[in-house]
Structure 1
Amino acid sequence: MQDLGSWDYVIVGAGSAGCVLANRLSEDPGVRVLLLEAGKDDNYIWIHIPVGYLYCMGNPRTDWGFKTAPDPGLNGRSLMYPRGKVLGGCSSINGMIYMRGQARDYDGWRQLGLAGWGWDDVLPYFKKSEDHYAWADDLHAQGGGLRVEEQRLSWEILDAFREACAEVGIPKTRDFNDGDNFGSSYFQVNQRAGIRWNTAKGFLKPALKRPNLKVVTEAHAQRIVIENGHASGLELTIKGQPARASIEGELVLAAGAIGSPQLLELSGIGNPDVLRKAGVTPQVTVPEIGENLQDHLQIRTIFKVRNAMTLNQMAGTWFGKAKIGLRYMLTRSGPMSMAPSQLGVFARTDPSFETANVEYHVQPLSLDKFGDPLHDFPAITASVCNLRPESRGHCHITSPAATDHPTILPNYLATEGDRKVAADSIRLTRRIMEAEALKTHAPEEYLPGSELTSDGDLARAAGDIGTTIFHPVGTCRMGVDDASVVDGRLRLRAFEGIRVVDASVMPAITSGNTNAPTIMIAEKGADMIREDRRRRRAAA
């Protein structure tokens, strides 16, 4: 067994959170930091070309290749569940959208008793990581590791959709990230000059010159070694060969909402019934590990349009594809620089909601499902998701082998409230498409079908056409109650020496895309880890 030596911090997962943690923790030259990534380096061309997400999701070079269990809320369907397996993690394969969520999200966390997690508390950490192309003020900052820019194209049909939103009471907005994202705008993205900007570029690579930081790729964590109530080591494989790292300080799990609970359960930490069923001997009882899974289900409504250019026509021929490729080569703009979704809209499906409760990702294209060819008719897709779903799912191991994928059941549309929001979301989309601003484009509903009108019919249709928007969170819930997995300082409650610092700690999902909040959690988590180390040393 290869011995990797002893480290003050061992970080599992070099994704959106792990790269930030490696940078911030290794700023202290007096500590030794080991960062482990199960995937490979991010030197794969399709990571860096924005449209390359199409070739990264579902690709074993960059994606774990998870699938959900058949979900009753999706009428028995199973979904692809992409998670990044590469330096940069999901920030290397995601939609690049920079979205913080709403101030009420974090104020809600604080109201749960989580002191220090309100909007005013976390805003400085959003700013710390941000490198905004234009804004430096009370809400935004420049000079951080996470580049934020405008997209490098626009579409007439999306501009018309935005005008239609204004007609139905959804105003245009300049900034989705000021604490209240109600309104419509083109998404700002994590790109630099038309190239994806992941956390490996922004945070990890600037820190690689430090002698106290070591990064090992193709390093798959297998089991946490627990001795005398403390995490003393980590067993792993490196390119399939066994290895071990010793931990003098803390083990920091940053493997995400699927990977972090999986490793804890493989180590005998979790619900004893779940562990025994999977063939793992229980070591420490923590019943909520793997529970509380939350995700945003996007309902992909599609409308045929006229008198408008969409990507369906533009990329419908080899000549069109060649023009798109040439434009990107010459200007780093055009469809190859596109995020998966260009126009964003945050709205209320009912006036009783205090803030926007749904988010649209609007695209000038259409297809039957991810990976399929574009339709041969001009169309747009207005995907809409419930920002604050009531439904809760789970993620649990099924065997003691780290190479076996866990069972993932999001349990979408499991509550009456979620089904009502789904039905109302489709109705709101129809109102927008019927607005005067879109009349010249004669929208014709393709999915789910205008003949469906009742709550029940629309909820069932949502189950047929809904899909994940890749935002799993919550499986190692942070809280002040004894049942929570980690406390407000992200320490595992069960015993000493382990923290979880990734999207799995969110007690409730944020009202928007989850990459920027995950980076914020890592920034704040790194500060907590360093503060606690200083306190321990001062007390010694």
Structure 2
Amino acid sequence: MVPSRRILVTLALVAAPWPPQVLASSTDSYDYIIVGAGTCGLLLANRLSQDANYTVAIIDPGADERDNPNVVDPLGWLGLTGTSVYWNYSSIPQEKLGGRVLEYDAGRGIGGTSLINGMTYIRGDKAQFDAWEQLGNPGWNWTTMLKHFKKIEQFFPPLPWQETAGALYEDEYHGTSGEMHVGFNPALLSGSFYGDVKASWAALGQTLNRDASSGDTAGFDVWPQTLDPVKNVRWDAATAFYWPVQDRPNLALLNGTVSRILWKNDEADVPEASGVEYLTPDGNIKTVNARREVILSAGALRTPLILELSGIGNPSILNGLGIETVVNSPGVGENLIDQSNVALTYSTKESFPGYAPYATFVNATSLFGDGVEALAASTKKSLPIWAQQIAAQTNGVISARAIEHRLQVQHDLIFKKGVTIAEILSSASGTTAISAYWDTLPFSRGSVHLSSANDINTPAINPRFLSVDFDLAVQVAVGRLATKFWTTAPISAVIEARVDPNSTILPDNATDAQWEDFTRSSLISNSHSLGTAAMMKREWGGVVDSQMRVYGTGNVRVVDASVLPMQVSGHLTATLYAVAERAGEMIVGDRSGL
């Protein structure tokens, strides 16, 4: 989770070995065009340009942030708030939050959101990845993903003093030769705080997890980050995958904002992209041709907009915007799944110098105890109702039956597979302690669509937070657990008082109604949006197949968070790198006839 703002900026093109200010002409052609120089796009560009026989162009409006101290410094990322490294997206007013408008984060720069995030490296639970196969994606499972997780990773084992401060890991789950550096923060908080936190969580039944990236997130852990602990610098997508190879003659970085895919003027049964159209910083519209594929890697909030502007989407939405339908794909922009973040802050009796990246993941049994079986039954009974509700929000273009199947898969993960459903961050800095917590597997589903065919930069984002009552119940239960933690010995001895919310807003003996009011008035987006061009069966609302090809097109793929069909109990960065790595293998395999 990171705070959000945006100030639009322009930049000089960085596209070695060509001169920095050279822009593509309308006749330039490449084998592959990748839209978006972010977490997935830059890894893909690296892989697809390894063979000098194929040319690759990346198109992005962002700047080179290598000299931005708040990007480079692993502790500086909160200082990026309000700077040009952000897109300033906002949600539409949220019905269940009293009409509140929420800010939405996305990174703007060469490296995308990997420039601005908290660098947390946690993958998710095995069963969550295995569930992707149930949604129509053969071969997408934990075993396959682990191979790709390890391939992209260069893991730095903790130093002895870091191990004492809680930095633990299991060697079998980590890679040693990949480009993405992963390690523990050099400023990791040492001293008694870690031991007290661990002991208090253990007293609440949350025992130590030596490696939350092992496919089992449950329990308390100290997480690693996407950083180089030796150099003490952030290791973003550009640092790992682009800057080291920017001089490849077959790799270009073009400066601009892509608006739409262009189509070949032929009578083919399946539309094929001829290239893309983009707007340069000086306001010129340019086109660039794709000989093989167009790959969208613009992120879960932006990729659906490009698809819609290109004529791929729900015909009723496209017609209302004056856009001709090329491919009827009603799932575009639907199935937006985000997590709602709430924070509690406390004052402490002593000062804590250092960084404390502590996470506690809990499952339904941890939250609801003896009541979990009754909750499982009542929730199962509610699935058809929720499915009908979500189907109605899509104006019926996705059937309630299809949605109910997807919700049933999630229900099984929670109540049969025992995956974790909430995360609590526990930390301290100076004389402030904090818990930030969120429901990792919400049932609520939202959407993101164009608000105008003339403005791709102001999407209509509607996460529909808490539109399913189960999500509110989980969020309240997690809040109560987070509060209980700080009043449990031995950590309770260092706490002076709860500062926010104060006792007037949320008394120590607060009722469920008071907790619900507080939650509705204070939650924000966790910046983990996904699912808006889901990799799923087409009849269930899927937009791309298991090869990440856009249904109904011949040569368009999506490789970013929008293809993830459901949330994971982890942070998206690790999963997105692995997804992009697998996509690269698929595309290279296609051109090699494998």
| TM superposition score normalised by structure 2 | 0.80
**Contact kept? 1:21, 1:523, Cα under 8 Å:** yes
The 5 Å alignment of 1:320-469 reads 334=354, 338=355, 342-348=357-363, 349-351=367-369, 352=372, 353=415, 354-365=418-429, 378-442=431-495, 444-448=497-501, 449-451=506-508, 453-469=510-526
- Contact 1:476–1:486 (8 Å) recurs in 2: yes
The one of 524, 527, 552 aligned to 1:470: 527
AA matched with 1:55: G
Letter aligned with residue 507 of structure 1: P
2:5 paired residue number: none
Q: Is the 8 A contact 2:538 2:551 kept in 1?
A: no
| 1:93 and 2:136 matched | no
- The amino acid that maps onto 1:178 is S
Q: Report Cα offsets for 1:399-419 as digits up to 9, x if no partner.
A: 112453101111111111101
Whether 1:302 and 2:302 are equivalent positions in the alignment is: no
1:374 is aligned to none
CA 416–220 in structure 1, closer or farther in 2 if over 3 Å, else same: same
Correspondence 1:37-436 to 2 at 5 A: 37-43=60-66, 44-59=68-83, 61-134=84-157, 137-152=171-186, 153-154=188-189, 156-157=192-193, 159-192=195-228, 193-217=231-255, 219-227=256-264, 228=266, 229-239=271-281, 240-306=283-349, 308-310=350-352, 334=354, 338=355, 342-348=357-363, 349-351=367-369, 352=372, 353=415, 354-365=418-429, 378-436=431-489
Kindly state the Cα deviation for residue 208 of structure 1 after the two structures are TM-superposed: 1.5
Give 3-state SS (helix, strand or coil) of 1:2's partner: coil
Contact between 2:170 and 2:210, CA under 8 Å: does it hold in 1? no
Aligned-pair CA distance for 1:4:
5.4
Measured after TM superposition, the shift of residue 356 of structure 1 is 2.0
Deviation at 1:506, TM superposition (A): 0.6
Identity %: 31
TM-score normalised per structure 1: 0.87
Residue 148 of structure 1, CA deviation: 0.6
Please, which of 39, 47, 68 is the counterpart of residue 16 of structure 1?
Answer: 39
SS in structure 2 of the partner of residue 39 of structure 1: coil
Contact 1:473 1:503 in 2 (8 A): yes
1:278-318 Cα deviation digits (max 9, x unpaired)? 34333322111011011121111223332x2157xxxxxxx
2-structure distance, mates of 1:444, 1:450: 12
User: How far apart are residue 137 of structure 1 and its match?
Assistant: 4.1
Letter in 1 for 2:279: T
Aligned residues of 2:259 and 2:279 also touching (Cα < 8 A): yes
Find the residue that maps to 1:425 and give its secondary structure.
Answer: helix
1:525 partnered with 2:583: yes
Q: Does 1:514 align with 2:572?
A: yes
**Shift of residue 451, structure 1, vs aligned partner:** 4.9
Q: For the residues of structure 1 that align with 2:80 and 2:442, how far apart are their CA atoms?
A: 28
The Cα of 1:220 is off from its aligned counterpart by 0.6
Please list the CA deviations of residues 219-264 of structure 1 after superposition, one character each: whole Å capped at 9, or x if unmatched: 1101111224111110112223221111110000000001111111
Shift of 1:479: 0.8
Q: CA shift at 1:157, angstroms?
A: 4.0
CA offsets 1:171-213 (integer angstroms, 9 cap, x no match):
1122110000112122211111321110101011122122111
Is the alpha carbon distance of 1:70 and 1:96 closer, same or farther for their aligned partners in structure 2, counting shifts above 3 Å? same
CA distance in 1, matches of 2:436, 2:194: 13
Using a 3 Å threshold, how does the CA distance of structure 1 residues 172 and 16 change in structure 2: closer, same or farther?
A: same
Instruction: Give the deviation of 1:393 after TM superposition.
Output: 0.7
Counterpart position of 2:408: none
Which residue of 1 is the match for residue 9 of structure 2? none
CA distance in 1, matches of 2:360, 2:202: 10
**Aligned counterparts of 2:554 and 2:496: Cα–Cα separation in 1:** 59
Question: Partner letter of residue 458 of structure 1?
Answer: W
How many residues align structurally?
A: 495
Q: Would you say 1:502 and 2:560 are equivalent positions?
A: yes
Offset of residue 347 of structure 1:
1.6
Task: Give the match's secondary structure for 1:519.
Answer: helix
Counterpart of 1:63 in 2: which secondary structure?
coil
Query: 2: CA distance between counterparts of 1:40 and 1:402?
Result: 21
Worse-matched range after superposition: 487-496 or 273-282:
273-282
Partner Cα separation in structure 1 for residue 507 and residue 27 of structure 2: 61
2:136 and 2:105 map into 1 onto residues whose CA distance is 33
Where does residue 380 of structure 2 map in the other structure?
A: none
SS in 1 for 2:481: helix
CA distance, structure 1, for counterparts of residue 509 and residue 586 of structure 2: 51
How many angstroms apart in 2 are the aligned matches of 1:447 and 1:52? 24
* Inter-CA distance 4–214: structure 2 relative to 1 (3 Å threshold): farther
Unaligned 5+ runs, structure 2: 1-23, 158-168, 373-414
- Secondary structure in 2 matching 1:303: strand
The whole-number CA distance in structure 1 between the counterparts of 2:329 and 2:71 is 37
Contact 1:14 1:35 in 2 (8 A): yes
Distance in 2, matches of 1:477 and 1:265, equals 15
Answer yes or no: is the 8 Å Cα contact 2:450–2:456 preserved in 1: no
Counterpart residue identity of residue 272, structure 2 = H
Query: 1:162 touches 1:172 (CA, 8 Å); kept in 2?
Result: yes
Letter in 2 for 1:23: N
Letter of the structure 2 residue corresponding to residue 358 of structure 1: A
CA distance in 1: counterparts of 2:123 and 2:96, whole angstroms: 28
Which region of structure 1 is more displaced relative to structure 2, 208-217 or 487-496?
A: 208-217
CA apart distance, 1:95: 0.5
Runs of 4+ aligned structure 1 residues displaced above 6 Å come to: none
Q: Taking structure 1 as reference, are residues 180 and 2 closer, same or farther at Cα in structure 2, changes over 3 Å only? A: same
After TM superposition, give the deviation of residue 88 of structure 1 in Å.
0.6
Residues 533, 542 of structure 2: 8 Å contact kept: yes
